Amino acid sequence: MKKKHFYVIAYDIGDDRRRDKVVKVLEKVGTRVNFSVFECMLTEVQYNKVYSQLEKIVVRREDKVIIYPICTECYARIDYIPVNKVNGPIKIVVV
């Protein structure tokens, strides 16, 4: 089995048509957690394919896509407030 890595992918796309294309790419590989944010667990091959597809859609002077790699240790410590069926149990954070 190929090793997967966790990524958070956020976007700000100025054009509706391009935005729809970006969403279609990301919906195939990840889970939407906010209007313009997806969480994705990807192999290196999948990552390269998604990156290439997004690069063909994005207009450099108008759009932005940011891909945050999350290490497995940090991934295990992600908290979701409030929790939903996709995220799992609520973790209480005391500040």
Task: Report which of 47, 79, 87 is spatially closest to residue 65, judged by C-alpha positions.
Answer: 47
What is residue 85's predicted lDDT score, i.e. its pLDDT?
A: 55
Q: What is the pLDDT along the chain (95 residues), one digit of tens a residue?
A: 788 999 999 999 999 999 999 999 999 999 999 999 999 999 999 999 999 999 999 999 999 999 999 988 888 888 888 876 555 544 434 43
pLDDT at 88: 53
Six-digit token pair at 42? 């990807």
Would you state the pLDDT for residue 84? Answer: 66
18-26: list long-range contacts, CB under 8 Å, 24+ apart: 18/57, 18/58, 18/59, 18/63, 21/57, 22/54, 22/57, 22/58, 22/65, 25/50, 25/53, 25/54, 25/57, 26/50
